Amino acid sequence: MQETKIVLPDREIPRQWYNIMADMPNLPKPPLHPGTKQPVGPQDLSAIFPMALIEQEVSTQRWIEIPEEVMDIYSLWRPSPLYRAHRLETTLGTPARIYYKYEGVSPAGSHKPNTSIPQAYYNKKAGIKRIATETGAGQWGSAMALAGSLFGLDVTVYMVKVSYNQKPYRRIAMETWGATVHASPSSVTNSGRNILESDPDNPGSLGIAISEAVEDAATHSDTNYALGSVLNHVLLHQTVIGLEAKRQFEIARDYPDVIVGCCGGGSNLAGVSFPFLRDKINGKELRVIAVEPTSCPTLTKGEFRYDFGDTAGLTPLVMMYTLGHDFVPPGIHAGGLRYHGDSPLICQLYHDGLIEAQAYGQTAVFDAAIRFAKSEAIIPAPESAHAIKAVIDEALRCKEEGKEKTIFFNLSGHGYLDLAAYADYLSGKLEDYEYPEEKIKEALSKLPSI
Ligand SMILES: Cc1ncc(COP(=O)(O)O)c(C=O)c1O
């Protein structure tokens, strides 16, 4: 029998997160206050974040201790398995070795609890009673709802309206864990009401939902905000994925030539790749590829400049590749990839040539998802399927060129609550959106000049 998966014992869950800011050739430029346009200080952020997370946000310390309480909860599903995709390799007839880390084993079905758990922990410790947050596809909202239930925090989720309607079971999962869920734009906040007034059928976007959640947190003293991607501390928490994978590759006596992750805000890509990027920064040969949708092509078509993280302009201005904060991406099924910007860490690494990016349309992505499901058995989340599409292309290139590369990707979540998307694909209803050039141009023209 061939070896298919490498599983580590609980005691090999990493005890520290890896902070790439200790090793990056260039650190990202500092976030700026939305009003004064001056660098934000810890005090500015303390209205919506606990100090422990603010400290992690700015830390340049290489290793950061994972609290024991967080380790205990991580052990419910971590370490996650590293699979060798033998069957996909055979189907493709490729000489490449394909591996994937499977984050769908978490109770919420994706990598998101790797950060929702520590975020809930630090907020609880700071005496916070409620968390307000946004969710695209519902993956992050479910992860936060789960974390809230484990730590006794109330959770309010603003869920992008198109996903709220496409994915009722995600909402039910959040409610099962005790969260309150609003379709965003909602009539609960000023930001939501303003948008609904001028555009009652607005499908919502992550940028809008973030505005609503930030406003909710900023206007309630017992409430903090939590973000499921983009911020440095979120990416930091996700490095447990890559740290485990490094150990698993040691056991497999292999090492990736190419690492692939889908990229919405950048957290799963960071998680899987940063511990390996440390080796690349130190001279090792390695390619890291971010995969995004052609309908929301942040890295491949965006501009590298300061922009707001949300639509209403309530968050700090961050230096990132952006399509413009009021760009509303088409309602593709990979809701978690519909964000106008990307993490400043990922953007800086992309800018410095340490990460590459590719974009695909959703029909090609679902073709790849089906191919994966039929060979490897797991039905992937539509977001993760973007990475699969890039991996299949890379593996077929290896076949053409007769190269035996090691390709590693993050299967960031399962798609069992995304079956409506598969139903659309199977019945030929899935639309491929054109690259929305005019809309992006218009949104970019409205960026603040710094
Ligand atoms: C399964 C899955 N993968 C990827 C993403 C994209 O987020 P990120 O780029 O932060 O990993 C999401 C976001 O919701 C997701 O649910």
Q: Strand locations in 75-175, DSSP E? A: 82-84, 97-102, 130-135, 154-160
Peptide bond connecting 382 to the previous residue in cis, omega within 30 degrees of 0? no
Query: How much of the chain exceeds pLDDT 70, in percent?
Result: 100
Check: CB of residue 83 under 8 Å from CB of residue 5: yes
Check: CB of residue 59 under 8 Å from CB of residue 233: no
Check: CB of residue 24 under 8 Å from CB of residue 282: no
Check: CB of residue 184 under 8 Å from CB of residue 134: yes
Distance CA 157, CA 133 (A): 5
Q: Which residues line ligand 1 (CB under 6 A)?
A: 110, 136-137, 139-140, 229, 262-268, 336-337, 381, 383-384, 412-413
- So what's the pLDDT on residue 158? 98
- So what's the pLDDT on residue 334? 87
Domains of the chain listed by start with CATH number: 5-9+67-109+232-445 (3.40.50.1100)
Q: Find the 268 Cα to ligand 1 centroid distance in Å.
A: 6
Distance CA 282, CA 259 (A): 17
Q: Could you tell me how far CA 229 lies from the centroid of its own chain? A: 5
- Half-sphere CA count of 54, side-chain side, radius 13 A: 16
Q: Tell me: the pLDDT tens digits for 236-258?
A: 999 999 999 999 999 999 999 99
Q: In Å, what is the CA distance from 289 to each residue of 93, 129, 261, 338? A: 22, 39, 6, 18
Q: Find the 137 Cα to ligand 1 centroid distance in Å.
A: 8
Task: Determine whether 236 is exposed, middle or buried from the number of CB atoms within 10 Å of its CB (0-12, 13-18, 19+).
Answer: buried
Ligand 1 atom with the shortest distance to the CA of 109: 1
pTM for the model: 0.97
Peptide bond connecting 275 to the previous residue in cis, omega within 30 degrees of 0? no
Over the chain, what is the mean pLDDT? 96
Ligand 1 atom with the shortest distance to the CA of 139: 16
Mean per-residue pLDDT pooled into runs of 10, the chain (450 residues): 96 98 98 94 93 97 98 98 98 98 98 98 98 94 98 98 90 97 97 96 92 96 97 98 98 98 98 98 98 96 96 93 93 88 98 98 97 98 98 98 98 95 95 88 91
